[in-house]
Amino acid sequence: MRHEYQSKCKWPVIMVSFRYQEAAIKRSKMFYEINKGRVTLRIKAQPNASRSEFCELYGDEAIKIRIKAPAVEGAANKELVKFLSKSFKVPKSEIVLQSGQTSKIKIIAFPLTEKFSQWVATYKDS
């Protein structure tokens, strides 16, 4: 007998089979969402890189970002906020880490800027 649970979360819909201990995650097809002037970005963070940089799409659900700082005592999260702030011309205080404080997959929200709109257009074109 299969029991299914659908999360009320905005991002993933989780279906669990208790009998077989299976979990399948369905995610939306974009790594970002724009709603009421705010951007929500799903990120796959890779700490301890030689420099902070955008890499490639991580499947369809996230963008991979290499972070220069190590994943120790929140250093990588601070560096990620600093990197996004510089990249999209957003004040650091406006960038909110919604989930993934200790995970490699993070959900971050910040105000929509012209710089972000230009950046995301490059991914739509490619």
What ranges do the domains of the chain cover? 1-28, 31-112
59 CB-contact burial (10 Å; exposed 0-12 / middle 13-18 / buried 19+):
exposed
What integer pLDDT is reported at residue 120 of this predicted model? 87
Tens of pLDDT, residues 87-101 = 999 999 999 999 999
Q: Which CATH class is domain 31-112?
A: alpha beta
Percentage of the chain with pLDDT > 70? 74
Question: How many Å apart are CA 65 and CA 77, to the nearest integer?
Answer: 11
DSSP-derived 3-state class of residue 34: strand
The token pair at 75 is: 């250093």
Indicate the pTM of the whole model.
0.74
